[in-house]
Structure 1
Amino acid sequence: MTAVLLSCALVWAVFLALHLALNGRWWPWLAVSLLPPLVLAAVPLVLLVAAAVTRGWAAGALAAVCLLVGWPQNGVNLRALRRRSESAEGLRLVSWNTQHWNQGGDPERFYAFLRSLTADVYVLQEYLNGFEGGEVWDIDDEERIRAAFPGHHLAVANNSVTLSRFPPAGPPVPVGVCSLRVDLRVGDGVLSTYNVHIPVQLTVTNPLRPAFLRDMRRRAAARDREYAALVDDLRGNPHPVLVTGDFNTSAAIGDIRRMPRSLRDAIGACRSVLPASWNARARLRLWRIDWAFTGGGARVGSYRFRDAEGLSDHLVQELTVTTPHA
């Protein structure tokens, strides 16, 4: 039994080594890295328990090493266990992938839900219509948006919508072809909001067909371009920043390491040990692919994921943010 257990631990160690070496560096590994991040903690933990029962100390030691080495990519938020008080101070922001902007739904219900979020700043993705696996259509719902949010400033570009009670400090700046930067005049300073939407990794089709690999390689190249454009703009930005949206990247996907080290993940302000934002319509949610980062002196006081009431497959990110000049 101990020999079988050691073999299982060795197989997992080899897989983990390949994952750490290839993840975010070799495009075909994108398909492998779609595994639920929690697997990177669950497998070595099961091996550790089995090793304790069978006294397979070699397998247990190897499993412990795998658990520690793979910990940063398992999505577990141990900071939620610390006792800390949430701060409601600062501006209230929501970030949400609307899943094709209410395509086929009731507009009144959709806009009523948005208004119920009562945010100072709305950062919304997928301002478009379309269907899985191909063509999308641009839409024009600006008149309805302005009517639903009087007193808000509206910026629309790159299939993104940013609504704010704070006036813009300049024109909106498209970042790549899928994200949008909007500089807001907050207090005596400027807060740069980045409305991010990184392309999805693959289309769910027959993986044995050559078209599947061609499509995945094309999407990997698009992801590379979007991340590169985002990081380049961030590095040249002198203002406090809030970077949030649908990254289509879990903790197990190496692409998230591309974000500048100067940014702080908002998850430290979240009270969930196993935070997940997708799939909002499923009972078991295993992936956090929607993120929020701050930098340049901007800080998050509270952060949580809110149910989207069946309107999208993404949960809503809700957070409060303070800036140095507010």
Structure 2
Amino acid sequence: MSPASAVAVCALVWAAFLGAHLALNGRWWPWLAVSLLPPPLFAAVPLALLVASAATGSALGAALAAGCLIAGWTQNGLNHRALSGSSVRDAEVEGIRVVSWNTQHWNQGRDPDDFYAFLHTLPADIYLLQEYLNGYEGGEVWDIDDEERLRREFPGHRLVIDNNAVTLSRFPPTGPPVPVGACSLRVDVRTPAGVLSTYNVHIPVQLTVMNPLCRAFFRDMRRRHEARRREYDALVADLLANPHPFLVSGDFNTSAAIGDIRRMPRSAHDAIGANRALLPSSWNARWKPRLWRIDWVFTSAGLCARSYAFRDPGGLSDHLAQDVTITTTTTTTTDSEEMNR
């Protein structure tokens, strides 16, 4: 087999895999394990095939690689809008500042003073904090009660706790909190611009670390797939029925390569266009280099993410904190709105 033919065969194999990935991802539960592949591979592999095709003169390989690069672009986790350099600096932004963070079992095993000191380094109008509980991966979890200290640390914020989530808002709630599914929390608040619905989201993790050759692994993966589907279904149903502008943020345990993120409705716009990183990553905060983004921010029509960054928690969690500033928009579409579509 000639080098050109070998490259064409490799490109054909990748095209077949990509086709199966796009068809089965998020729809067939066993594919959940495959979807854990690093998102950058969906750009790196076709780019490598393009280089190999140019070196060997394989026209078929080049055509297949280019097609795969385009077809799989949404899977690679790259923020191409960062290349425009159109996002504004944090200091220039005025609006509603929201900090969303998976605390990794609150301050379990760590100094509570360090935990709260980190939150105070990010003075926000609204905090959306996940994993208000103690426990350990794959084991039992315990409810906790840190309400007294939360009120003491944030006297200017209203406190809402439910579904193992904490929402702290400088703006008053317009009604009782709404648990969404079993793991997320909706709180409607009255801002100077009107009612804003905040969604504090935590989608269950895909897999338990165990022997992948045993039956228990596949039973657990199927159970978790169903749990994730229920959480996404509950979230999407609530968003579609909500008449208010909304901000959805939290730990989705979903990378760009995991098809579950496609369940989000078209009315929810990914805020990543306001971030300045080409490959934004929110996990794992304790590793260098960090991997990819599994924490997300979505905004509805009428809202615009003007500044969006990930903040290092200094070892307090395996998730970086999301720091986003939103503003209201007019009926005239602005450049910033288009950036987030």
TM above 0.5, yes or no, is: yes
Distance of 1:324 and 1:271 partners within structure 2? 21
Higher mean Cα deviation, 132-141 or 236-245? Answer: 132-141
- Deviation digits for residues 62-120 of structure 1 (CA, Å, limit 9, x no counterpart): 11111110001111111011132425111111000000001100001111111111111
Q: Which runs of 5+ in 2 are unaligned?
A: 331-341
Identity %: 70
Distance of 1:106 and 1:286 partners within structure 2? 26
Q: Which runs of 5+ in 1 are unaligned?
A: none
* Structure 1 residue 206 corresponds to structure 2 residue 215: no
Higher mean Cα deviation, 81-90 or 180-189? Answer: 81-90
The structure 2 residue matched to 1:107, chosen from 92, 99, 112, is: 112
What's 1:126 paired with? Answer: 131
Change (3 A) 1:188 1:39: closer
Change (3 A) 1:85 1:324: closer
DSSP-derived class of the 1:283 partner: coil
- Deviation digits for residues 263-313 of structure 1 (CA, Å, limit 9, x no counterpart): 111001111111111111110222210000000412111111111111110
- AA aligned to 2:57 is R
What's 2:52 paired with? Answer: 50
* 1:168/1:185 contact within 8 Å kept: yes
- AA aligned to 1:22 is L
TM-score w.r.t. structure 2 length?
Answer: 0.93
Superposed, which structure 2 residues align to 1:155-304 within 5 Å? 155-304=160-309
Superposed, which structure 2 residues align to 1:21-32 within 5 Å? 21-32=23-34
DSSP-derived class of the 2:207 partner: coil
Distance of 2:194 and 2:125 partners within structure 1? 16
- AA aligned to 2:37 is L
Q: After the TM superposition, which parts of structure 1 deviate over 4 Å for at least 4 consecutive aligned residues?
A: none
Distance of 1:41 and 1:127 partners within structure 2? 36
Change (3 A) 1:82 1:188: closer
DSSP-derived class of the 1:299 partner: strand
The structure 1 residue matched to 2:102, chosen from 93, 97, 102, is: 97
Q: CA deviation at 1:203?
A: 0.3
Change (3 A) 1:54 1:91: same
Change (3 A) 1:207 1:85: closer
DSSP-derived class of the 1:212 partner: helix
RMSD, aligned CA:
1.1
Distance of 2:11 and 2:313 partners within structure 1? 40
- AA aligned to 1:299 is C
- AA aligned to 2:36 is L
Distance of 2:166 and 2:185 partners within structure 1? 8
TM-score w.r.t. structure 1 length?
Answer: 0.98
- AA aligned to 1:139 is I
Q: CA deviation at 1:36?
A: 0.9
* Structure 1 residue 305 corresponds to structure 2 residue 307: no
